[in-house]
């Protein structure tokens, strides 16, 4: 059972918190109907994402067996059979799409697009640079769009761009960390097309413009929300520093291991929550 759970990577469901972003920023998340729809969307997207993780692992079995860390994954190590993993992924897709049908087309469309792009990524597009990082970032953005569709909340254009560019920043950071952390013999083919100079320039650009987009969003919203730009800026600078020090191969692990990052995030989200929801 532990191997099957590892295959589904439930720890990565934390990424799907982005589904709550539109209603959270709109100040409607605490409404019972909105919260219920957001939770259903979270469950649906999480199951679908697990299905894609399994498909990606199936396509990467041989490469993972040569990787110093990934060789311990359930499929690469032989703990789970390929046929069983494929059956589980199809079941997860069916459950995820079923939840999407309940929520309606505004949610189902971005969910289906997310699944389609995820399959195309796993079946070959992950070897095309820089399309690979673009598709990963688009996957994060589709979570936000789906969250807005599930709860009937319009996503601000500034927030849209801020989240997309931040997602692109995180995706590029992962590529840089992979280059630093993995010996040439164990690197994925797409990493041949990336240099640290290219990635450093791209990281700096995405970080700066993402922060600018968020600042413009706070100006659009008005009030004291602009002060939340301060923890946002510190968080980005801290993460960029960790990347340059060789961290970031697993963004979620990097975040959870670094007290400065999660304290900054708590201050950022807590500040937004106080300003939006405090009477």
DSSP per-residue letters across 17-43: GGGGHHHHHHT-TTSHHHHHHHHHHHH
Model pLDDT, residue 185? 63
* Non-local CB neighbours of 32 within 8 Å, separated by 6+ positions: none
Kindly report the number of other CB atoms within 10 A of residue 219's CB atom: 12
- Determine the Cα–Cα distance for residues 268 and 264; give it in Å rounded to an integer: 6
Kindly report the number of other CB atoms within 10 A of residue 266's CB atom: 11
Task: Encode pLDDT of 41-52 as tens digits.
Answer: 999 999 999 999
How confident is residue 238, by pLDDT bands cut at 50, 70 and 90? Answer: very high
- Determine the Cα–Cα distance for residues 126 and 118; give it in Å rounded to an integer: 9
Q: Which CATH superfamily is domain 1-154 in?
A: UbiA prenyltransferase (1.10.357.140)
Task: Encode pLDDT of 26-44 as tens digits.
Answer: 899 988 899 999 999 999 9
Model pLDDT, residue 98? 94
For the chain, the average pLDDT equals: 90
Helix (H, G, I), strand (E, B) or coil at 1: coil
Quick check: 182 pLDDT over 90?
no
Helix (H, G, I), strand (E, B) or coil at 67: coil
Please give the residue that has the higher pLDDT: either 203 or 62.
203
User: CA–CA distance from 208 to each of 37, 218, 240, 254 (Å)?
Assistant: 34, 16, 11, 21
Task: Encode pLDDT of 134-177 as tens digits.
Answer: 999 999 999 999 999 999 998 889 989 999 999 999 999 988 88
Domain boundaries, the chain: 1-154, 156-279
Task: Encode pLDDT of 246-268 as tens digits.
Answer: 776 677 788 888 999 999 999 99
Q: Which residue has the tokens 């007290």?
A: 259
Quick check: 188 pLDDT over 80?
no
Task: Encode pLDDT of 113-130 as tens digits.
Answer: 999 999 999 989 999 999
* Non-local CB neighbours of 43 within 8 Å, separated by 6+ positions: 99
Q: What percent of the chain has pLDDT over 70?
A: 96
- Determine the Cα–Cα distance for residues 81 and 99; give it in Å rounded to an integer: 27
How confident is residue 81, by pLDDT bands cut at 50, 70 and 90? Answer: confident
């Amino acid at each position: 059972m532990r191997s099957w759970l590892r295959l589904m990577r439930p720890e990565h469901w934390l990424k799907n918190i982005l589904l709550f972003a539109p209603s959270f920023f709109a100040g409607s998340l605490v409404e019972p109907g909105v919260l219920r729809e957001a939770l259903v969307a979270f469950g649906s997207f999480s199951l679908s994402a697990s299905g894609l993780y399994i498909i990606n692992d199936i396509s990467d079995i041989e490469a993972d067996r040569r990787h110093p860390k990934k060789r311990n994954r359930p499929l690469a190590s032989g703990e789970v059979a390929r046929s069983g993993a494929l059956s589980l992924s199809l079941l997860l897709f069916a459950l995820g799409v079923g939840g999407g049908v309940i929520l309606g087309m505004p949610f189902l469309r971005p969910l289906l697009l997310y699944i389609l792009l995820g399959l195309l990524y796993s079946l070959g597009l992950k070897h095309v640079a820089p399309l690979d990082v673009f598709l990963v970032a688009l996957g994060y953005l589709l979570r936000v769009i789906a969250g807005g569709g599930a709860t009937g909340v319009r996503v601000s254009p500034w927030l849209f761009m801020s989240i997309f560019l931040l997602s692109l920043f995180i995706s590029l950071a992962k590529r840089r960390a992979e280059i630093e952390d993995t010996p040439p013999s164990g690197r994925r083919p797409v990493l041949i097309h990336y240099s640290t100079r290219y990635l450093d320039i791209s990281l700096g650009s995405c970080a700066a413009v993402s922060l600018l987009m968020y600042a413009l969003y706070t100006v659009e919203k008005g009030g004291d929300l602009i002060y939340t730009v301060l923890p946002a800026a510190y968080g980005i600078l801290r993460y960029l520093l960790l990347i340059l020090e060789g961290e970031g191969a697993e963004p979620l692990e990097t975040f959870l291991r670094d007290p400065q990052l999660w304290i900054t995030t708590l201050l950022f989200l807590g500040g937004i929550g106080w300003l939006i929801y405090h009477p």
